[in-house]
Structure 1
Amino acid sequence: MNNDPIQNQSIVDGLVQLSFLVQEILGRVGTEHGLSIIQLRLLGILRDREPSMRQLAKHLNLDKSSITGLVDRAERRGLVERKVSPNDRRGFNVCITPAGRELTQAGNEEIVRHVKAAVEGLTERERAQLVMLVRKILGNTVK
């Protein structure tokens, strides 16, 4: 990595500002649908899988009581449901309901629209470079 402190700070500032932009988009879309960012993340995870409560907690970096409360609130709204785990009859897997899927799809469409607007000033080549760089950065941070 470059040892130039000015360039390193510029990279940090740029990535933090980009993170703020994405968080602002997620927060705005979530608020429009009565969801917090963590609830958006929960529904996003459940779009294509039915994880156990333990897997959800690990993925969202939450403790057991926090994930239980999060799932309880989403379940009360009819967005998710618990099913007895086929692998452990004492545990539960969480799945998205049709109402949750509908809300997730609507929210995702809005997020895509806002993100596309944010990168509108980039050329196609710059967008492709951005995708490649993001994948590279994320590949370096996988736990």
Structure 2
Amino acid sequence: METDDVDAGLIDALAQTAFTVMAALNRVGAEHDLSLTQLRVLGILQDRRLRVSELAEYLGLEKSTMTGLVDRAEKRGLLGRAPSATDGRAVEVFVTPAGAALAGPIYARIAELLAPLLDGLRPAERRQLHQSLERFLR
């Protein structure tokens, strides 16, 4: 098989994987009345606090768009805001206890929906896939 054929097959496999994962994420989001971006925000903030501008940059969104998203999640009790401990002018966003309580079942449901993708892999293959994906995403 030529390199172009291998690359084409890899691109196709990546696209198919992305569509499968997106379908699972969309399903879970719909089950909890959350957009994909809201799911990502809960995941990103699960172990940290970020300024709205940092969160917007991380997601590739305009700050005003991010502010609106945070406003809506705050009204639902999923996110909160607090003054930054390091910069008195800045405000940080964090997951509230209600948001954290929702994040657990969301993660479990995503894992349940994606488990069939991993069922055929041995533990060593799973580790190798994990390492490859981590490198790929850097």
TM-score (ref. length: structure 2): 0.92
Give matches, 1:1-143, under 5 Å.
4-138=3-137, 142=138
SS in 2 for 1:47: helix
Alpha-carbon distance between aligned partners in 1 of 2:2 and 2:82, rounded to the nearest angstrom: 52
Alpha-carbon distance between aligned partners in 2 of 1:73 and 1:134, rounded to the nearest angstrom: 32
Among all aligned residue pairs of Structure 1 and Structure 2, give the percentage whose two residues are the same amino acid: 41
Deviations 1:55-112 (A, max 9, x none): 1011111111110011011001010011012223232100111110011111011111
Code of the residue aligned with 1:69 in structure 2: it is G
Alpha-carbon distance between aligned partners in 1 of 2:2 and 2:107, rounded to the nearest angstrom: 39
* Bigger mean CA deviation after superposition, 114-123 or 79-88: 114-123
Structure 1 residue 3: deviation in Å?
A: 6.9
Alpha-carbon distance between aligned partners in 2 of 1:90 and 1:133, rounded to the nearest angstrom: 40
Alpha-carbon distance between aligned partners in 2 of 1:126 and 1:88, rounded to the nearest angstrom: 45
Q: Which runs of 5+ in 2 are unaligned?
A: none
Code of the residue aligned with 1:10 in structure 2: it is G
SS in 1 for 2:47: coil
CA RMSD of aligned residues (A): 1.6
TM-score (ref. length: structure 1): 0.89
Structure 1 residue 114: deviation in Å?
A: 1.6
Q: Which runs of 5+ in 1 are unaligned?
A: none
Deviations 1:97-133 (A, max 9, x none): 1110011111011111122222112233332332232
Runs of at least 4 residues off by over 4 Å: none
